[in-house]
Copies of this chain bind each other. A is one copy, B any other.
Amino acid sequence: MTLTVAQLSESELLARIFPRLHAGTTTLLGPGDDAAIIAAPDARTVISIDTQVQDKDFRLAWPNGTASTGFDVGWKAAAQNLSDINAMGASATAMVVSLTLPGTTPVGWVEDFADGLSAAIVALGAPQCSVAGGDLSGGSEIVVTVAVTGSLEGRDPVLRSGAKVGDQVAVCGNMGFAAAGWALYESSILPSGHTGAMADAATLFARPVPPLAAGPAAAMAGATAMMDISDGLLRDSQRLAAASGVCLDLDSAVLAAQARKLEETAVVLGENPLHWVLTGGEDHSLLSTFPDGYSLPDGFVRIGSVVSMGAPEAAVTVDGQNFEGAASGALGWDHFAV
């Protein structure tokens, strides 16, 4: 018999979770009181919140026969929240976690969740970040919400609105891997039978690896605008362009080179890898702009330039061609065929 959360009291369940939660260095008061207290050394706190819902953001039974483990869901909860702090040029300080759980949820799944959350915090490079508190509720499906705080360490935040005409456009991190991994999970193909980029894609979908050192590094290197690519390069480029009142012109050769990394997986699944690069979300890479002539920090690849908005107003172009509406997926990608 699998022990389920319905068989434990709330305090018994918390007693199993608490020892597994990572304690960083920024917590002045941890779990156990009405609220936690986090250090905010420069008198500002960056804050964001992100939710994963069962059967929307993860599945306990994927078409390919695998299941999202508690560890995977905990890892992704940490990764996507840490990425939001990274995208401001900040370092994470703490998380508070709300878990809504059906009574049938195995206690082991919840313990794995706590382990995955804590493991990601350390492995992704945010060991200072504490899991400072949380809330448990019952519900008919699993819902995981994390709110995360961060410190700008005295720096200005890097907003979406600061891109200037003439800036370089650059990305740090994977492009399209999580989308390829998602397509694998939604197929009949078990990722365990594969190696290389195909295995990487599956792993990076289940356990994203946002480049957490890159956000503060970009801020210090003079980034003018920055955001986390969570909804796909095109859609998020459009958001950054709109916030800045400019157009981002992307370089098809760079995009094609990214797509080639996913070619094997695309062939197996009968998909276009460039579509993954352009529209795939959840890689949690950083999209940044830097003044022309500035050296890009380690890990950033130049993917285009900031140009002025033309007429008709296009937020994103590729090699100077209008790309409006591309994020909807309505346009074909044939003119970028690799």
* Chain A residues with a Cβ under 8 A of chain B: 28-29, 32-57, 83-85, 87-88, 90, 94, 96-98, 100, 132-135, 137-141, 143, 145, 147-150, 152, 157, 159-161, 226-228, 243
Bound-complex Cα distance A42 to B42 (A): 9
Bound-complex Cα distance A149 to B40 (A): 12
Interface pair B147/A47, CB less than 8 Å apart? yes
Interface pair B48/A133, CB less than 8 Å apart? yes
Bound-complex Cα distance A226 to B34 (A): 9
- B-side contacts of A152, CB under 8 Å: 37
- B-side contacts of A40, CB under 8 Å: 40, 43-45
- B-side contacts of A49, CB under 8 Å: 96-98, 133-135, 145, 147
A99's nearest neighbour on chain B, judged by CB, is B51
Report if A56-B139 is in contact (Cβ < 8 Å); known contacts: A34-B88, A47-B149, A133-B47: yes
Bound-complex Cα distance A140 to B44 (A): 36
Interface pair A137/B29, CB less than 8 Å apart? no
- B-side contacts of A145, CB under 8 Å: 49, 51, 98, 135, 143, 145
Report if A43-B46 is in contact (Cβ < 8 Å); known contacts: A35-B90, A51-B135: no
- B-side contacts of A33, CB under 8 Å: 88, 157, 159-161, 227, 243
Interface pair B53/A34, CB less than 8 Å apart? no
Extra contacts besides A37-B45, A47-B147, A53-B100 (15): CB < 8 Å: A33-B88, A34-B48, A34-B85, A34-B226, A36-B48, A43-B43, A47-B149, A48-B96, A49-B98, A49-B135, A51-B100, A53-B139, A96-B147, A98-B145, A139-B141
Report if A43-B39 is in contact (Cβ < 8 Å); known contacts: A56-B137, A100-B143: yes
Bound-complex Cα distance A47 to B45 (A): 11
Bound-complex Cα distance A85 to B52 (A): 26
Interface pair B47/A87, CB less than 8 Å apart? no
- B-side contacts of A34, CB under 8 Å: 48, 83-85, 87-88, 160, 226-228
Most B-side CB within 10 Å, residue of A33, A134, A139: A33
Interface pair A39/B47, CB less than 8 Å apart? no
Closest approach, in angstroms, between the C-beta of A169 and any C-beta of chain B? Answer: 17
Interface pair B47/A36, CB less than 8 Å apart? yes
Bound-complex Cα distance A148 to B167 (A): 37
- B-side contacts of A52, CB under 8 Å: 137
Report if A47-B137 is in contact (Cβ < 8 Å); known contacts: A34-B160, A143-B100, A150-B35: no
- B-side contacts of A137, CB under 8 Å: 51-53, 56-57, 143
Bound-complex Cα distance A88 to B134 (A): 16
What would be 23 A-B contacts, judged by CB atoms less than 8 Å apart? A29-B159, A33-B243, A34-B48, A34-B83, A34-B160, A34-B228, A35-B87, A35-B88, A39-B43, A41-B43, A47-B133, A48-B96, A49-B96, A49-B97, A51-B98, A51-B135, A53-B137, A53-B139, A54-B139, A55-B140, A96-B147, A100-B143, A149-B149
